Amino acid sequence: MKISKDEVEKIAHLARLKIQDSQKEKMADQLSNILQYIDKLKDVDVEGVTLSSGAAFMNNVLRSDELKPSPGPKVTLANAPERDEDFYTVPRVVK
């Protein structure tokens, strides 16, 4: 499937992307190549192949909880851009 520059412009508009005119032709070629590759995958014979998903066989690896003392506000607020005593100061978001 061949993608035109007009279709690239439409896709960029929908994705809220700004693409320079000099890049549109290259982007059209790249998207066309991706779609051609996907079309090739449709022709692959998968007869007898069992369905699987790589993520389905993974188990969560969790560390055990360890009780540790808090480092305190002096350490945790050391890189805070703004603070008020032992608290972070953030811009008000609700009026």
Residue 20 lies in a domain: yes
pLDDT tens digits, one per residue of 57-91: 667 778 889 999 999 988 999 998 898 988 989 98
Residue 71 lies in a domain: no
Is 32 within a domain?
yes
Q: Which residue segment(s) compose the domain that 28 sits in?
A: 5-42
Residue 13 lies in a domain: yes
For the domain that residue 9 is a member of, what is the CATH number? 1.10.20
Q: Determine, yes or no, domain membership for 70.
A: no
pLDDT mean over 4-19: 94
Average confidence (pLDDT) over 89-94: 89
Task: Tell me the torsion sign for CA atoms 62, 63, 66, 68.
Answer: negative
Query: Is the Cβ–Cβ distance between 4 and 29 less than 8 Å?
Result: no
What pTM was estimated for this model as a whole? 0.49
Please check whether residue 28 lies inside any domain of the structure. Answer: yes
Q: What's the total number of domains in the chain?
A: 1
pLDDT in tens, 19-42: 999 999 999 999 999 999 999 988
